[in-house]
Amino acid sequence: MPWTRDEMAQRAARELKDGFYVNLGIGMPTLVANHAGDLDITLQSENGMLGMGPFPWESEEDADLINAGKQTVTELPRTSYFSSADSFAMIRGGHMDLSILGAMEVAENGDLANWMVPGKMVKGMGGAMDLVAGTPRIVVMMEHSDKAGNPKFIPACTLPLTGRNVVDVIITDIAVFERADRKGAPFRLVETAPGVTAEDVKARTTAAFVV
């Protein structure tokens, strides 16, 4: 049985550590904010918010408080606000400890493709290229296969790259892969969803990995 998106977010939250400054990409990664628990982390948004709280309860939304994906969020007593330019200066300056992003493809060597949607008009690459270049640890959350059933963890990316050799952890709806370093270490299968075997993962994955 595959993990739900919320269960994937719970697993991604295990990558957080006390004191971390974290940027969450749009889509599934934003769910991680609800699973930080008692950890002392600071969430940063590309649109100029540092210290985001969890999503608001229904009827408690403030339309002026949104994340980079235009979802309403909450503020904390320590929340601060600034320009998008200052936000990207933080990212490009290497001040984020971890970024959790979505992806359309991840290659077995850690290449990431997550900004060009095939067959659709795209306004630009957003902040993903800055994030993968300026953040030391990148966690990807994505479905294991696309809507046509094709694997997304593959030998080499076919879509335009966001970054080369930048992914450290991959969390899909059936498995978790991680690698020890970006110096040639292979991805290792370290966890599977309930009832999913290593053979099941191999059958649905074209990228090479170690069990």
DSSP helix, strand, coil percent of the chain (3-state; round to 5) = 20, 25, 55
Q: Distance between CA atoms of 138 and 56, rounded to whole angstroms?
A: 26
DSSP states along 31-93? GGGGG-TT---EEEETTTEEEE--PPPTT---TT-B-TTS-B--EEEEEEE--HHHHHHHHHT
Q: Which residues are catalytic?
A: 46
Cα 210 to its chain centre, rounded Å, is 22
Joined together, the tokens standing for residue 99 give 């970024």
Compute the chain's Rg from CA coordinates. 17
CA dihedral (19, 97, 174, 183) in degrees, to 10, reads -130
